[in-house]
Amino acid sequence: MSKLLEMLGCRYPVIQGPIGMFNSPEMVAAVSEAGGYGLLAVGFINEGDTVRRLIDDVRKLTDKPFGANVVLLNPSSGEFLKILADAGVKTVTTSVGSPRDIYPVIHDLGMKGLHVVLAAAHAISAAKAGVDGLVVVGSEAGGLRTTGSESSTMVLVPLVADAVDVPIVAAGGIADSRGYRAALALGAQGVQIGTRFLASEESPAGAAWKKAIMECADGGTGLIPLEDTRMAQRLIITPWIKEKLADPSVKNLTALLERNPEATGNFERAAFGCGQVGALIKDIKPIAKIISEMVS
């Protein structure tokens, strides 16, 4: 058994990528029930009680192992780690922030942690800081990125594999068995999947978001900078976003985007998060089928 599978305690080395504010106990449980490792995203939560309720909701649906992604810049991350440890979570992922001070806390709580990195230099310093493993995210991935130049999964995973001794999980651009096998060949012990699970039956994404992923063509996503930061988010470039990108009078496109079009009905300005791999996704399937096909 690989070190990663030992840490996760699940059947397949397939981790569900956290999707920001879209916490879905149903999706977390579906991934864990299918043999993968479901992850709650507690980074954008303020209240410990919300974390407890989400854990309870997952536990009602599965007795299989699951974890959570903890955002280190969240001032409540120490409290959340204790709640997770008390609930029996064995392994978490950590992102956005230095792992140096928090890993001794994670270990004292009897847990292990995988730190999320977007670049080789950060992977090396995280390994030196005592993380138990790394989630190495290539530039094609969905979610938040930096606006600086970054390497794709194909380059970054072997670079990191050559430089560190801890287990590596590859993320970005993986949607099927070809991507899964490629990630293992590059030196990863497992994969983290974002966009393919968003386009699943159990995903909390609305129908319009899932349809946009299925219709996303090659080159259909782009990085939209977050004003006054060095960060950007990868979104589907809709006709409206394309028009605004070409308009020099638009200074802060992010502020004009609609994050919850299903609720407001404003689909024209929708911000549909999606990795480049959306171009490979042509259907909506149950998570159990996605995982079984991926590892077959």
Ligand X SMILES: Cc1cc2nc3c(=O)[nH]c(=O)nc-3n(C[C@H](O)[C@H](O)[C@H](O)COP(=O)(O)O)c2cc1C
Distant-in-sequence, close-in-space partners of 271: CB < 8 Å, separation ≥ 6: 224, 233, 235, 257, 258, 259
Q: Which two tokens stand for residue 76?
A: 């409540």
Contact set with ligand X (CB under 6 A): 17-20, 41, 43, 69, 95, 116, 137, 140-143, 171-174, 192-196, 198, 273-275, 277
Between 158 and 194, name the residue whose CB sits nearer to ligand X: 194
Which of these, 97, 69, 103, 101, lies nearest to 171 by C-alpha position?
Answer: 69
Which of these, 134, 173, 167, lies nearest to 154 by C-alpha position?
Answer: 173
Between 1 and 39, name the residue whose CB sits nearer to ligand X: 39
- To the nearest whole angstrom, how small is the minimum distance from the Cβ of residue 121 to ligand X? 18
Q: Which two tokens stand for residue 23?
A: 């916490």
Between 72 and 159, name the residue whose CB sits nearer to ligand X: 72
- To the nearest whole angstrom, how small is the minimum distance from the Cβ of residue 248 to ligand X? 28
Q: Which two tokens stand for residue 258?
A: 């609609």
- To the nearest whole angstrom, how small is the minimum distance from the Cβ of residue 249 to ligand X? 28
- To the nearest whole angstrom, how small is the minimum distance from the Cβ of residue 19 to ligand X? 4
- To the nearest whole angstrom, how small is the minimum distance from the Cβ of residue 150 to ligand X? 13
Between 15 and 161, name the residue whose CB sits nearer to ligand X: 15
Q: Which two tokens stand for residue 31?
A: 């991934």
CB-CB neighbours of 179 under 10 Å: 19
Q: Which two tokens stand for residue 44?
A: 């954008």
Maximum C-alpha span of the chain:
56
Which residue of this chain has its Cβ atom nearest to ligand X in the complex? 194
- To the nearest whole angstrom, how small is the minimum distance from the Cβ of residue 294 to ligand X? 11
Q: Which two tokens stand for residue 185?
A: 């060949």
- Please give, one letter per residue, the 3-state secondary structure of 77-91: HHHHHHHHHHCCCCE
Between 251 and 276, name the residue whose CB sits nearer to ligand X: 276
Between 75 and 248, name the residue whose CB sits nearer to ligand X: 75
